[in-house]
Structure 1
């Protein structure tokens, strides 16, 4: 089983994000595909970023990250927006984050 960082364009930071979301190997990520994989890291609290999404898509296709252009990039933006809307966790305020840290509340 290969590490996620063996996929073109993906390094140790993205590997850690996927591992934290329960995606442990490059094979697992390839099997689920870019959309499901990205949805999982968003649901785990990863901050949505369009470049991160299309870097993942390009990497799973074995393409350099900057190969995404024109109509393909526009189509990926539409998919990204839909995945983000369905899976991203809302950001917590500083107060809520502090109260979570000291164990007073657990807001999702």
Structure 2
């Protein structure tokens, strides 16, 4: 088991958030991949932050964290936004979900 901080760009705070999400070591992170590891972080309660998402991608590719640009960054942003929406249950913010639960926002229609 190799420490998460052995991966470039992953510092103590990111490593702690990953461990709290069940990603215990560098080998597990590499096996999961950046997208699935970030999904685990969101499910564990990490607040969404796009930079953290693309830093994980760059880290696992052995690239500097700020090497993400142009169309690659745009594509990662689309994947990030979709992941956040999925983890929030259809794209609702926590307050929107609470308002829907008490009936102040109409339920989504099922197609």
Bin the TM-score by the shorter chain.
0.7 to 0.9
Note the C-alpha offset of 1:88. 4.3
Q: Report the aligned-residue RMSD.
A: 1.4
Greater C-alpha radius of gyration: 2
**Structure 2: any 5+ residue segments left out of the alignment?**
96-111
- Which structure has more relative contact order (CA 8 Å, sep 6+)? It is 1
Note the C-alpha offset of 1:91. 4.5
**Structure 1: any 5+ residue segments left out of the alignment?**
93-108
- Runs of 4+ displaced beyond 3 Å: 88-92
TM-score (norm. length: structure 1):
0.80
Note the C-alpha offset of 1:8. 1.1
TM-score (norm. length: structure 2):
0.78
Q: Which moved more, 1:30-39 or 1:1-10?
A: 1-10
* Residues 9-88 of structure 1: pairs in structure 2 closer than 5 A: 9-88=9-88
1:31-89 deviation digits (Å, cap 9, x = unpaired): 01011000000000000000110011000100001100000000000010011111248
